Structure 1
Amino acid sequence: MEISDRVDAQHTTPSRCGNLLAFLQDGKLRVNHVASTERCLNEYNIKIPSKEIINITWSDDGTRIAVSSYKQIGIAHVDESSHHVRLDNGGGGLGRFASAAFLDNEHLLTTWEFGRGRIWHLSSGRSTEIGDLKTTSSGQAWSQRPRSSSAAPDMLAILSRVSAEDVLTIHFVEDGKSTSRVSLPTIDAQSLCWSPDGRWLAVMDTPTAASTIHFCTPDGHLYRSYPSKSPSDPDGLGVKFLKWAGDSRTVALAHYEGGVVLLNTRSFTPFASVEHSTTIDQTGLPPTKQAPIWQEHVSATSERTYSLATQPVSPPLSHSKPSTEPNELGVAELCFSSNGEYLATRDERMLSTVWVWSKQTLSAHAVIMQHANVRKMLWHPSRPDLLMLDCGESVAYLLEVGASSPPMPVTVPLPGTPILAWLETAVDAPPAILALTKSSFRVIFPEGRPAQARPTTDGRPSVPGADIYEEGTSEDSIMDVLSGRKPHTRASEQSYTERIDMEADGEDATMGLDDTFRAKRRPLENAVEVDPLDDSEIF
């Protein structure tokens, strides 16, 4: 096992490919490689105070980074130090920036707190407005469809609220077009999410509804609703949340009453159910059919060991008395392994106990009773038999599901209670764990450090000291460029105004350009009425 040096940083965020880390340090945005966290590959000066930054977001290919605050968003290119974009909220007529997310390498979705959204094309500066975005839901009001192939179009499912009615719109990111709005049979839709293969879209209603889950086709039309309430308790709560298996063949519904129902995605009918018993007794089963029950013991010297519990055994309860709070009822957490063969669950009544279920045998595969409450269960993204438990004790518990051994505790040398997460790695690469606090982080390699990768994503040398918000080079105000008040200074390619003139003069242009100062304005197809309060700009 190897552990990297401690790095003092804030807002540490790994790239989606898992080989780069972006963080704030000494008022600068820095990018380091996971295999050598002590060496800075690139750094950028930022003008947003660290205390105002909400988060840092990576693009899919790991070439762009968005630094978000309530007032502005800065986008930096990892390898092209002179290429930067700034989104300014202007006077804040739509409220503060609520979120910023890359839809692909060229498109960024921003949302405001007052229910507005906008998709920006970072190279051209054009944008498409999204109105009536639902902001009162408990979950996410939009979800991007996973792409099954490079030829598949980028699609965005958007949940809106119009005239006291929930509506669903499918938006095509590349051309800015959208399907007609589809009314949903929901009372107060809370969230939506695509299946991993992009074939189904699940919309979750308020838990008091008779049918909490609605499954829609990719064009947004309702296919089937699931009656989530128990016939014995029609006035109770229904589904708490759902999880798709990685192979998209199964969807798990976690109920407030404590059970988990598994549905097949061909007909969306249940084929198995999971119950968490307060007393585990397998004495009536043959020894080969019994799942091992591992119980952790912590000595006075903080030595952690496991033993097989004698059955029957009752896991420790987390609450001294029954709770009436909805968030403390039923299933606390569930997650599928990367191949969908295993399911890990926790119950709100027994937060220190983890059940691992096998989808092949439709029975418990193992039970782990921890000394402290489990904070998070995390399957490795590419190794389906590796599960990590985070109990908030600066220890990562690694369980090899296929082995007959208990979890292996790995101590994380960081002060406080760091948050643990897997880093995305290849199947044949050693696993890596990111342990971070608000002010520092370390990377743990349980099986050793991987080979050193190239300095940057495309092999070019890094250019430290680039400024993400400095005036000059490629960071130009779109309004200044269009009005001619500010020339574009990049000498290596055509200027922005030259590209606009060429597009406007082209006879086969499919979309008009808003170029009032040059009197070449043509109406946009499917034009959206501009909100007079929206004075946000892209720079």
Structure 2
Amino acid sequence: MARKAQQSSQHSIPSPDGALIATLRPSCLVISSHTGTLVRTIALPQDFVSKCRLIRWSPQSGQRKGESQEQGNEESRWQCGRILLADNDMVRIYDITDVKWSAVVERAASNFGRIADVDFGPSPSEILVFSDLGVKLTIWSLVTCRGVELRDPKYMVNCYNYRPRTEHLAILTRPATQDILMLLNPGSHELITSVELPTIDAQEVLWSPNGCWLAIRDAASSGHKLLIYTADAHLFKMYTGIGDTEDIGLGIKRMAWSCSNGTLALGDYNDNVTILSSNTFSPVASFNHPSNIRLPEVDIWQEQLNASKSRTYAAAPQPASPPLSAVGVKTSGPTHGISTMSFNGDGTLLATRDDLVPTTVWIWSLQSGRPVAILIHHSPVKQISWHSQQSDLLLIHCAIPDPAVHLWKSTWSAPMIMTLPLSTIGGKLEAHWLRSLDVYTYNILLTSSHAYITAQISQNGVLIPSAGTVSSDPELGFRSVGTGAEDMFDEGNSLDLSPIKIAHDETMEVHDGFDDGVDGSGSSGFGMGNEMVDDTFHYRRHIKAGG
């Protein structure tokens, strides 16, 4: 779960599906569509804006559940979207189109230090607040105005993940000297089961795309140790690597599921990627990333920068030796290992980056088990992202001061580098895919600290001119959108939801201790409904896991 805090004042932040863009101003938050339409301007107290550290979009911001991308008009696709902003103590939540709805959670971390991180749950009616130092996680409901407390979450790692479709929560905690996996029901957050893990220091928990498996990776100090659990938290397999038994290697650094076929990729500190099958979780392929590349049958492209600072790709002679990472005295950790892996939409391609050669992107074919292209750049690669609709289109963003994006597509004769007319004075650049309204063009968002630009690219890689895309003030030149439907989350609660004000003591606790007095075992909880339990003492409730 650990991730770099998104500094709200530095960038325009797109919604997960790229339909909307949020920009924080000194006294307001501006929400606009990627086509330039002003959706909403939200007035904010200036003292809150000055302290605002985090902005998060709800997971359903751009599209109703079950609605295809072609259905409805542009406005209908963001009706259920919400956005939250947080400073050290307070969280503010706003509906994108319903101007009458808002929520404020005061002292959201419940006096356990400041807010370390905050995010939406699987729906816009639930938020997760981590207190400082990972002392506690509070799950606030914007429907019931109550919170559920989970003590000792492993905040500094990827400690939680929601099950696809059913939205059961899997979370890693460490109340004492042992890692514990807890499974909670959606909605009510009743504890289903909790199990002690045979790990030294679990680093990540991740549901498979079909919701049948839970993958948990241990710290690299334990070697290649991966645990596969069933959906009801029974250990199915322990993977410890494919190397020689006397050589345990340097352990796993990253893991990623393929959304199409359920295979699991493991990137390790030995600069290798191992592909595990979806049924037996046995290794079916291994990809090595040599620093001296000699692959005559593979296209190797190298970025070229001429005197006019124009960037292009050119075929690289072989053997090719990309620059290695510089190891300085200030280095806080290993500068090797697979830090980035990304499957494309149909699971046929895998893009990887090795920290030992940070300027290089490898694109692997899962069918042939060999790379189809290798791209070498002048600067370290900080982001790779596949297009959601075009499975063979890859966006690469490098750590450079120029407003340029790097693109690869399997049908192009060569990769392309496009420089966009964006002012880059101050701050870092970020690039994102935006929703494409048709299959013939692709949309990109590039942001700096003071402005952003949206660009449209044709199928053959030609930049399509678009007037009015550059903006240092998104409030200018946009047309207004209606306020939208009434509050869809008002389910008859007696509290006033406009705005919601949640006190810090309206919480209930979920404990991960072991007590034989309550039954928390079995998988029957996955077939239960999500109704809230009738609780007389609704302000605070203690739940203990079964043994």
TM-score by length of 2: 0.76
1:226 to 1:427, Cα distance in 2 relative to 1, 3 A: farther
Kindly indicate whether residue 112 of structure 2 is the aligned counterpart of residue 105 of structure 1: no
- Matching residue of 1:75: 93
Long gaps (5+) in structure 2: 1-7, 62-80, 459-463, 470-477, 487-495, 507-530
Q: Is the counterpart of residue 64 in structure 1 residue 82 in structure 2?
A: yes
Q: Residue deviations 1:123-153, cap 9 Å, x none?
A: 2212222223223x4x221111222xxxxx3
Give the 3 Å change call, closer, same or farther, for CA 248–111 of structure 1 in structure 2.
Answer: farther
- Corresponding residue number in structure 2 for 1:276: 289
The aligned amino acid for 1:142 is Y
Q: Does the Cα contact within 8 Å between 1:229 and 1:236 map onto a contact in 2?
A: no
Map of 2:542 onto structure 1? 528
Q: Which residue pairs with 2:317 in the alignment?
A: 310
Matches within 5 A, 1:282-431: 282-283=295-296, 290-319=297-326, 326-393=333-400, 394-416=403-425, 417-425=428-436, 428=439, 430-431=441-442
* 1:124 alignment partner in structure 2: 144
Equivalent of residue 142 in structure 1, options 137, 154, 160: 160
Taking a change above 3 Å as real, the CA distance of residues 293 and 98 of structure 1, as seen in their structure-2 partners, is same
CA distance change for structure 1 residues 425 and 161 in 2, over 3 Å: closer, same or farther? farther
The letter for the 2-side match of 1:372 is S
One-letter amino acid of the counterpart of residue 528, structure 1: H
Q: CA deviation at 1:353?
A: 2.0
User: How far apart, CA to CA, are the structure 2 residues paired with 1:271 and 1:182?
Assistant: 30
- Cα distance, 1:510–1:42 mapped onto 2, change above 3 Å: closer
Alignment root-mean-square deviation, CA: 3.4
Please give the alpha-carbon distance, in whole angstroms, between the structure 1 residues aligned to 2:154 and 2:290: 38
CA shift, 1:440, in A, is 3.0
Q: Percent identity?
A: 27
Please say if residues 340 and 352 of structure 2, whose CA atoms lie closer than 8 Å, have aligned partners that are also in contact. Answer: yes
Q: Which amino acid aligns with 1:474?
A: S
* Offset of residue 475 of structure 1: 2.2
CA displacement 1:243-302 (0-9 Å, x = unmatched): 11221422111111111111112111111111112232235xxxxxx1211222211111
8 A Cα contact 2:98 2:484, kept in partner: no
Alignment length (residue pairs): 463
Is the contact made by 1:211 and 1:227 (CA closer than 8 Å) also made in structure 2?
yes
* CA distance, structure 2, for counterparts of residue 223 and residue 295 of structure 1: 44
Shift in CA distance, 298/21, structure 1 to aligned 2, threshold 3 Å: same
Distance in 1, matches of 2:263 and 2:98, equals 42
Does 2:98 match 1:96?
A: no
SS across alignment from 2:358: strand
Please give the secondary structure, in 2, of the residue aligned with 1:49: helix
Per-residue CA deviation, residues 73-97 of structure 1 (Å, 9 max, x unaligned), is 0111122212111111179531212
Q: 1:124 to 1:92 in 2, by over 3 A?
A: closer
Cα distance change, pair 411–300 in 1 and its aligned pair in 2 (3 A): same
Aligned counterparts, 1:25-36, within 5 A = 25-36=25-36
Deviation string, structure 1 residues 375-394 (Cα, Å, up to 9, x no partner)? 22221122111111112232
> Closer, same or farther in 2 for the Cα pair 1:529/1:171, shift >3 Å?
closer
Q: Which residue of 2 aligns with 1:216?
A: 229
Report the more deviating stretch, 255-264 or 364-373. 364-373
- The alignment partner of 1:165 has SS state of coil
Q: Which amino acid in the other structure matches residue 406 of structure 1?
A: P
1:459 to partner: Cα distance: 5.5
Given residue 407 of structure 1, which amino acid in structure 2 is its aligned partner?
A: M
User: Residues 458 and 223 of structure 1: is their aligned pair in 2 closer, same or farther, counting only changes over 3 Å?
Assistant: farther
175, 184, 188: which is aligned to 1:171? Answer: 184
Q: 1:92 to 1:172 in 2, by over 3 A?
A: closer
Give CA deviations for 1:437-469 in whole Å, capped at 9, x if unaligned.
33432222223469x9996598679xxxxxxxx
C-alpha distance in 1 between matches for 2:149 and 2:237: 31
Per mean C-alpha deviation after superposition, the further-off stretch among 12-21 and 427-436 is 427-436
Q: TM-score, structure 1 length as denominator?
A: 0.77
Deviation at 1:25, TM superposition (A): 1.1
What SS does structure 1 have at the residue aligned with 2:542?
coil
Which residues of 2 match residues 473-484 of structure 1 at below 5 A? 474-475=498-499, 477=501
SS in structure 1 at match of 2:50: helix
**Matches of 2:223 and 2:191 in 1, distance apart?**
30
Q: Secondary structure at the match of 1:293?
A: strand
Question: 1:469 corresponds to which residue?
Answer: none
- Give the structure with higher Rg (CA): 1
Task: Look up the SS of the partner of 1:124 in the other structure.
Answer: coil
8 Å CA contact 1:144, 1:194 repeated in 2: yes
Instruction: Go from structure 1 to structure 2 and tell me whether the alpha carbon gap of 1:310 and 1:18 turns closer, same or farther (over 3 Å shift).
Output: closer
> Which stretch of structure 1 is more off in the superposition, 195-204 or 165-174?
195-204
